Amino acid sequence: MPSPYRVIFARPGTKAFSAAGSLGRMTLSMMGIGVVTMVSQLTGRYGLAGAVSATLALSAAVIGPQISRLVDRHGQRRVLRPATLFSAVAVTGLLVSAHERWPDWTLFVFAAAVGCVPSIGSMVRARWAEILKDAPRELHTAYAFESVVDEACFIVGPILSIGLCTAWFPEAGPLVAALCLVVSVLWLTAQRATEPEPHPRDKQTGGSVLRSPGLRVLVAAFVATGAIFGVVDVVTVAFAEEEGHKAAASLVLAVYATGSCLAGVVFGLLHLKGSAPRRWLLGMCAMAVSMIPLQLVGSLPLLAVALFVAGLAIAPTMVTTMALIGQHVPRANLTEGMTWVSTGLAVGIALGSSAAGVVVDEAGARAGYLVAAAAGALAAAVAFLGYRWLRPAPQREGTDGHERDGDHGQGREDRAERREDRAEQRHMA
Question: What is the second-level CATH architecture of the domain 210-419?
Answer: Up-down Bundle (1.20)
Identify which of 122-131, 148-157, 286-295 has the greatest average pLDDT.
Answer: 286-295
**What pLDDT is stored for residue 392 in this prediction?**
57
**What pLDDT is stored for residue 90 in this prediction?**
94
* Per-position b or e across 153-176, b if 16+ CB within 10 A of its CB: bbbebbbbbbebbeeeebbbbbbb
Domain layout of the chain by residue ranges: 11-196, 210-419
Across residues 99-116, what is the average pLDDT? 90
**What pLDDT is stored for residue 407 in this prediction?**
39
Q: Is the pLDDT of residue 40 over 60?
A: yes
Name the percent of the chain lying above pLDDT 70: 87
Task: Specify whether domain 11-196 bears CATH 3.40.50.150.
Answer: no
Tell me the residue type at 245.
Answer: H
Q: Is the pLDDT of residue 1 over 90?
A: no
Position with higher pLDDT, 95 vs 351: 95
Supply the DSSP symbol for 407.
-
pLDDT bin (cut points 50, 70, 90) of residue 412 is very low
CB atoms within 10 A of CB 409: 12
Q: Is the pLDDT of residue 204 over 60?
A: no
In angstroms, the CA 316 to CA 383 distance is 15
Which residue blocks in 299-333 are alpha helix, DSSP H?
Answer: 300-311, 314-328
Length in residues, the chain = 429
Average pLDDT, the chain: 81
pLDDT bin (cut points 50, 70, 90) of residue 410 is very low
**What pLDDT is stored for residue 26 in this prediction?**
87
pTM value is 0.73
User: How confident is the model over 319-348, as pLDDT tens digits?
Assistant: 888 878 878 877 777 777 878 887 888 788
In angstroms, the CA 384 to CA 371 distance is 20
Position with higher pLDDT, 429 vs 158: 158
**What pLDDT is stored for residue 391 in this prediction?**
66
In angstroms, the CA 326 to CA 133 distance is 10
User: How confident is the model over 159-181, as pLDDT tens digits?
Assistant: 788 788 888 888 988 999 999 99
In angstroms, the CA 136 to CA 132 distance is 7
CB atoms within 10 A of CB 105: 9
The answer to whether 11-196 and 210-419 have equal CATH topology is yes
